């Protein structure tokens, strides 16, 4: 399941990418336009900023703005920051790998191998999809 956090985060990024001049947009504006709880969105934008997707400006006339070109923002990186691993099982994750404690041999594990396939096909989509592609 995609968390609401992720869904809201992507929607916010899309909203921001429409302001090509990169003028700061206030949380309130995004929150209202996309029907997202204001305080919740606040925390989401904060993590997007901390992870290098957004810049922010405090005080009057402040807000959030995209720091990179929409073409340069891959969905795979957005997903990893907001939703965590893309793989369905930690033992198959490229960026969040963890060994299963029940499974003695990964290569012999049918579940493992099945999930590798799923990961690859999902990753192919997220890697080839930029924020700019989403808007088209």
Minimum Å gap between C-beta 58 and a second copy is: 27
Site membership for DNA, residue 63 (CB under 7 A): yes
From 49, 68, 74, 129, residue interacting with DNA (rule: CB under 7 A): 49
Q: Coil, strand or helix: which one is 95?
A: coil
Q: Round to whole Å and give the CA distance between 43 and 3.
A: 14
How many CA atoms lie less than 13 Å away from 60 in the CB half-sphere?
0
Site membership for a second copy, residue 5 (CB under 8 A): no
What are 72's two structure tokens? 């340069």
Name residues contacting a second copy, limited to 62-91 (CB under 8 A): 75, 85, 88-89
φ, ψ of residue 123 to 5 degrees: the values are -65, -35
Residue number, 88 or 134, with CB nearest to DNA: 88
- Residue 111 contact partner, candidates DNA, a second copy, none, CB within 5 to 8 A by sort of partner: a second copy
């Amino acid at each position: 399941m995609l968390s609401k956090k992720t869904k809201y985060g992507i929607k916010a990024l899309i909203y921001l990418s429409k302001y090509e001049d990169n003028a700061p947009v206030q949380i309130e504006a995004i929150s209202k336009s996309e029907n997202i709880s204001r305080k919740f969105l606040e925390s989401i934008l904060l993590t997007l900023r901390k992870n290098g997707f957004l810049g922010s400006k405090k005080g009057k006339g402040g807000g959030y703005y995209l720091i990179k070109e929409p073409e340069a923002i891959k969905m795979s990186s957005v997903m990893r920051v907001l939703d965590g691993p893309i793989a369905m099982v930690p033992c198959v994750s490229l960026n969040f790998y963890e060994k299963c404690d029940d499974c003695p041999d990964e290569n012999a594990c049918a579940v493992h191998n099945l999930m590798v396939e799923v990961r690859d096909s999902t990753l192919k989509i997220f890697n080839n999809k930029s924020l700019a592609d989403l808007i088209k």
